[in-house]
Chain A
């Protein structure tokens, strides 16, 4: 189904958050379809991600929200049977264009995964991995500064500064996830994709990570997939609702949670399914 709400809500709703149009479009998907072999997972989705905002993708499990997210930095390329059609642009450029380099794209669009997945290396090496492969640091001091800056950015510096050489796998779940975020921002991406980053964490760790996401909004464009509506409400400025591979509705988060225009969104928000 086609969703043409973008024009609709821009003038219709006056919300506490700044109007969506104040933020330029960073990434834009048009008529995106995704197939796994013969099975279609995403149907004709049009969704834009705006700069320096947190866009939340919500919906019941298996609705295709993660799949859409993985299209944005072409992680789906790693799945052999996966096929993507439609147009996805970043700053107006087609990211599936043959001239686009997937490595460079991923350096610009970083990703944080559902389960914390630190490499079985030291904390320092985890964070410095990206800068090293991309050659971003000119000297060792540079690299150390970059690691510190990234860990600070992820709010982890104070906790790990004395044990940078210890394995990253030895940290607690929430620290591991923040380590993965530090690893992602060390590459200085423009967009950070987060695929249910708190689903494996306890409530306290979740709260810390959510706070972090809110801070990261100052410098990065963020798209986050989440299972929890409360989380979407807490961290995001815009929310897109997916169901069965279709985009049901997209709107400013507050509008979405107070005054959804679609019945399925209402049902989901009020806990009728999910």
Chain B
């Protein structure tokens, strides 16, 4: 019986329980439902919960622990001799083969099974015939282990089904026995729902805890092979691939060049986004007619809805080559020699395109904040005979300044955490440079490049990604906490 079937059966019992509970409640009071503490439906739900909730919890617990127990038992069947010579990883591999054999054995019929148990040499072609490919060379002991694995699994499923469905029926009966007119069924049911709501709201906490814990533990493993000061203050990024024979080739994991690239590109992006976004916001809030606003504002916000991969592609295929060719032309005019001084992937390309992406963030955040400045401020200034621009520059912007700064910090945090644009347009060379026409790389680019491809989760080359991720997480977190604090203070001022 598969888990799906068990769940289905439990749910059917629950559904029956709902009807039975409601009916029983009616019966208890002889049809005068007004005498009941709660509406009959609540008594139904009461039974439904009793019949399903404990059983499903048991199923979850069983399904997570049983495989571990089975795995341990199967490992015990590995002969002493084998255990003596094989390393832990080799044993893992053997267990994988055992599992594959176990799958395969189920496909064989009676006669083939007899033949197969004689030895691995005979089994292999049989399994191949059924389309079961084995990862490595098997040994004879594995057949017995596989058979035991199958046996254990069969027993497990039987007991699991009995226990879960049994518990469901017990719950059903126990619930039904409790039903009487005074039973506060609604309160009980609502209590369960309340618990569910609380549980749901802790998911957010759990996510944060998950992020922090998983990254800290992996980062800890990274720091056990690379000292933290080399990571945080190293100026060379050269994570060569692990080479056991040559200990000098361990690679260098300096954060500084990546951080420099990240901040540089974010800076260029802000240089593009802030003036455009801020002026657009001012125009929208102070000058534009409502008609113009109703068209231009959503159009600008479309820019925010476009996935970053599209910006990356735009940078890669359109902006990068354009800047490269343009710089070639300029160089041609200036020196007579056509040589591009802007590479196709460069700080400028990535920053420019990221800046375009950020324009709607700056403009809509600033628009909100500028619009939050009370009307009486505008009236006060206009009433003295100030022009619109004088009002904006001398009254509204100074009043909105903290909020705008908060908005810009949030935007900057987005620029720092942005991945796809820099992956496609910034380059991969980790260099310290101040020339914006050359490629530089960022923290996010390196996280992606260290974690794509074949991975081995023990080498510093992959673990460094978590250290980078943790750094990124804390930088953006700090920016955001501070920005939210500023914005909140700002809003309180006018509320």
Contact = CB atoms under 8 A, between A and B. Distances in A.
Interface in B376-401: 376-387, 390, 394-395, 398-399
A119 B384 contact: no
Nearest to A74: B382
A115 B379 CA distance: 11
A200 to B, nearest CB: 11
A184 interface: yes
B71 to A, nearest CB: 67
Contacts of B387: 103, 133
A115 B386 CA distance: 19
Interface string B473-495: 00000000000000000000100
A113 B383 contact: yes
Interface in A103-140: 103-108, 110-111, 113, 115, 117-121, 129-130, 133-134
Contacts of B385: 103-108, 110, 130, 133-134, 187
A75 B398 contact: no
B255 to A, nearest CB: 41
Interface string B100-135: 000000000000000000000000000000000000
A52 interface: no
B224 interface: no
A120 B399 contact: yes
Contacts of A108: 385
Interface in A72-125: 73, 75, 78, 80, 103-108, 110-111, 113, 115, 117-121
B384 A117 contact: no
A78 B290 contact: no
Interface string B276-296: 000000000000011000000
B374 interface: yes
Most chain B C-beta atoms within 10 Å of own C-beta, residue among A75, A117, A183: A117
A103 B381 CA distance: 11
Contacts of A119: 377, 380-381, 395, 398-399
Most chain B C-beta atoms within 10 Å of own C-beta, residue among A105, A106, A118: A106
Contact of B384 (A78, A80, A121, A130): A130
Interface in A25-77: 73, 75
Contacts of B383: 73, 75, 106, 110-111, 113, 184
A180 interface: yes
A183 B382 CA distance: 12
Nearest to B382: A78
Nearest to B291: A80
A108 B385 CA distance: 8
A117 B380 contact: yes
Interface residues of A, number: 27
B390 A133 contact: yes
A103 B379 contact: no
A155 B290 CA distance: 42
Contacts of A120: 377, 398-399, 493
Contacts of A113: 376, 379-380, 383
A137 to B, nearest CB: 14
B289 A80 contact: yes
B398 A129 contact: no
B377 A110 contact: no
Interface in A194-243: none
B399 A129 contact: no
Contacts of A78: 378-379, 382
A117 B382 contact: no
B46 to A, nearest CB: 56
B390 to A, nearest CB: 5
A6 to B, nearest CB: 28
A129 B384 contact: yes
A78 B289 CA distance: 11
A160 to B, nearest CB: 18
A73 B384 CA distance: 10
B382 A75 contact: yes
A270 B398 CA distance: 48
Contact of B381 (A73, A80, A104, A129): A129
Nearest to B386: A133
Nearest to A126: B380
Nearest to A180: B380
Given A80-B289, A120-B398, A121-B398, A184 B377 contact: no
Nearest to B290: A80
A120 to B, nearest CB: 5
B392 to A, nearest CB: 12
B378 to A, nearest CB: 7
A121 B377 CA distance: 11
Interface string B346-383: 00000000000000000000000000001011111111
A267 to B, nearest CB: 33
A117 B379 contact: yes
A120 B387 CA distance: 18
A62 to B, nearest CB: 19
A133 B384 CA distance: 9
Contacts of B399: 119-120
18 contacts: A78-B379, A80-B289, A104-B385, A105-B385, A106-B383, A110-B385, A111-B383, A113-B379, A117-B380, A118-B380, A119-B377, A119-B381, A119-B395, A121-B398, A133-B387, A180-B380, A183-B380, A184-B384
Given A75-B379, A75-B383, A107-B384, 7 more contacts: A78-B382, A80-B290, A106-B383, A110-B383, A110-B384, A113-B380, A129-B386
